[in-house]
Amino acid sequence: MGKIKITKETVLDYLKTVVLIFIGNFILACGIMIFVSPMNFMTGGATGLALLMERVAGIPLSSTVAVLNVICFIIGYIFLGKRFSANTLLSTFLYPFALRVLESIPTVSTLNTDPLLGAVFGGLMIGFGVGLVIRVGASTGGMDVVPIIITKKTGIAVAYTMNAVDILIMCTQIPYSTPQILFYSIVIIICTTIAMDKVAMLGVTQTQVMIMSEKYMEINNAIHEKIDRGTTLLESVTGHLKHPQKVVMSVINNRELHALTNVVKEVDPNAFMVVNRVNEVHGNGFSIKLDDKQRIEALKNK
């Protein structure tokens, strides 16, 4: 492994990532504190459990979120490794901090009194905030750890495990809600999913990447070693000079696009990349579970 070169571009890219994580977490916190919490809506994740504790025991929302985030961060470090923990470290503390700041402003909870407006804009803000964080390869932390671990162990798509965990958390809030609140909460989930999918390209779709570079073999090997995804080398001929050239094709999870782009730039900053969104992918690692040996090797690389 060679040393990572610190350049102006890498510093700017890092600062951009940090800024977007800050913005994403604060938008997420605003969506919760302005639209969701004042209306007593239900939601999933660590926020959902925190809202339940606030209604049942009067514990401040930010305090419960902070405790749950730290616990999940430790679990993630144990089961998912240092890379995942590094991506969630900032959000682990930033999100509860943003909630605490907004809790200290009395007028925040009175900005909206319309439940339908709260459901729509609350869902859109939550989805937009989470989508921004995921778009730069990071995570909002919290209960995201649980479905990701389930995915690692079972091979079930992370979108399904996240939805299942969120539904279970929301079920714990039903006894303290009304049918109207339940319907508004469903609107929040729909708006959140749409916004998050648009911002971060999440969901059941995958991303196909075509990479053209003279250093195709180095890029090919780097994708195997650092992203742990398969590749296909395609024969091609350049249109202008008619030179034969290999094209590296790979299909990855949408969350991995940011990491793959960085890997390609490290090998060849001048590489030409084409990114396509594909609706379905069938095969090993997507619709077919990896065998035990492959899964163990994948977890080691993570």
pLDDT per residue of the chain (302 residues) written in tens, 0 to 9: 445 567 777 788 888 888 988 999 999 999 999 999 999 898 888 898 998 998 888 899 999 999 999 998 888 888 877 777 777 888 888 999 999 999 999 899 899 999 999 999 999 999 899 888 877 777 777 787 888 788 778 877 666 787 788 888 888 888 888 889 989 998 998 898 888 877 866 545 788 999 999 999 999 999 998 888 889 999 998 888 888 889 999 998 877 888 899 999 999 999 999 998 886 676 666 555 555 445 445 444 54
Identify the pLDDT of residue 220. Answer: 93
The Cβ of residue 240 has, within 10 Å, a number of other Cβ atoms equal to: 5
Identify the pLDDT of residue 292. Answer: 47
The alpha carbon dihedral of 88, 90, 91, 92 has a sign of positive
Identify the pLDDT of residue 103. Answer: 92
3-state secondary structure of 204: coil
3-state secondary structure of 237: strand
3-state secondary structure of 169: helix
Identify the pLDDT of residue 5. Answer: 65
Question: In which region does residue 203 sit, left (phi positive, over 0), alpha (psi from -120 to 50) or beta (all else)?
Answer: left
Sheet holding 206-212, edge to edge: 232-237, 244-252, 206-212, 272-278
Identify the pLDDT of residue 296. Answer: 45
Q: Tell the residue number behind the tokens 């969901």, with chain if given.
A: 203
Instruction: List, in order of start, the domains of the chain with CATH numbers.
Output: 8-200 (no CATH), 206-301 (3.30.70.120)
Alpha helices (runs of H) in the chain, residue ranges in sequence order: 8-30, 45-57, 61-80, 82-103, 115-135, 145-154, 158-171, 179-200, 216-222, 257-267, 292-301
Identify the pLDDT of residue 12. Answer: 84
Q: Tell the residue number behind the tokens 């803000």, with chain if given.
A: 125
